[in-house]
Amino acid sequence: MGFRWFKMILGVLVVSILLSQYSCVYGEAPQVPCFFIFGDSLVDSGNNNYLPTLAKVNYLPYGVDFPIGATGRFCNGRTTVDILAELLGFKKPIPPFATTWGLVILRGLNYASGAAGIRAESGTEMGVNVNLDQQLRNHHVTVLRIASILRHKALALKYLNKCFYFMGIGNNDYINNYFQTQYFNTSRIYTLEQYASVLIEQYSQQIMTLYSYGARKVALVGVAPIGNATEPFNEKLRALVDKLNADLEDAQFIYVNASSVSRPADFKVPNISCCAVNELGLCNPFEPICQNRSDYALWDSFHPTEAANIASAGRAYSSQDPSDTYPMDISHLVQLSL
């Protein structure tokens, strides 16, 4: 018993010292001790750079407005989660899992992967991606590493309970699965309503896996509108939030309405990409790009500009309309004492 208490006290001291060092170096500590990100190309920060896939963008003009240039972000600058990290008080972006190790993992990691989906096969017509099941396995590795750093599993779980978790995935289960009939047969097996149910069933199990790893403050982002095709999924996801909150009294889940927080119509150029794109809808390297990027909602055929990300992150963090988030926004979620 004495040794176990010693290990716990040592872990508490490690956390206290690290938080103190963070405050000294970067100023005031963030609102949450760590921020973990799961998703697809909308929030990928470089995990696909070394994978054999067409879904990677570690070349200019991607990153033209990012401080260190092209990093693998599918954007001219910061993604939604980069901006959310700033709003939460982090002084640096949350780094990608693929190239990050050491004590910095205590501040969180980004597991997102371009073309990834809820289903393992989604996006694989473009090559290898890190699907959500694998992202969760990667997070389990992180959990074990944090337990090792803190010298105590229970202390690590308590630490992870305080973190913020962002899950934005499902787009590729439609655009790079259901609607890619030459590669996948899901549209021949399921109606859109049935497919939404199948996705939500699998997603709910994946969310419970994340919960088992200590997640207690979780934002679930809906899928972008594709006509009316994704409405059943988003409706079921919002209902899942209610169920999770009813079943798990020590956790809080929120729904972020992608179509509400992202409003291309607010921009002067709402539906034309800023860069010249290839057959995949990604920017061509070494070709001219628009100069007035803050006027554009779209960077390439699928991904928002930094200006659009600033707007959507702001509404997800502090909702401007009741339809933006449910049952609360991110700023209120992270302040909860659970």
Closest residue by Cα to residue 130 from 68, 204, 49: 49
Cα separation, 212 vs 234, in Å, equals: 24
> What's the full length of the chain, in residues?
338
Task: Kindly state the tokens that stand for 176.
Answer: 């790079």
For 10, residues 6+ apart whose C-beta sits below 8 A from its C-beta are 151, 152
Q: Which of 122, 139, 303, 329 is catalytic?
A: 303
172 half-sphere exposure, CB direction, 13 A CA radius: 27
Residue with tokens 């407005």: 65
The answer to whether 242 and 204 are in contact (CB under 8 A) is: no
41 included as an active-site residue:
yes
Cα separation, 44 vs 24, in Å, equals: 29
Residue with tokens 């590795």: 141
Cα separation, 100 vs 221, in Å, equals: 25
Cα separation, 302 vs 79, in Å, equals: 13
Q: Which of 40, 82, 173, 300 is catalytic?
A: 300
Alpha helices by DSSP H, the chain: 2-26, 80-87, 132-150, 153-161, 172-173, 186-189, 192-212, 231-247, 258-261, 306-317, 330-333
303 included as an active-site residue:
yes
Q: Longest Cα pair distance anywhere in the chain, in angstroms?
A: 66
Q: Which of 41, 113, 312, 319 is catalytic?
A: 41
For 78, residues 6+ apart whose C-beta sits below 8 A from its C-beta are 66, 93, 306, 309, 310
DSSP assignment string, 137-162? HHHHHHHHHHHHHHT-HHHHHHHHHT
The answer to whether 64 and 88 are in contact (CB under 8 A) is: no
- Look up residue 128 and give its amino acid: V
Question: Which are the catalytic amino acids?
Answer: 41, 300, 303
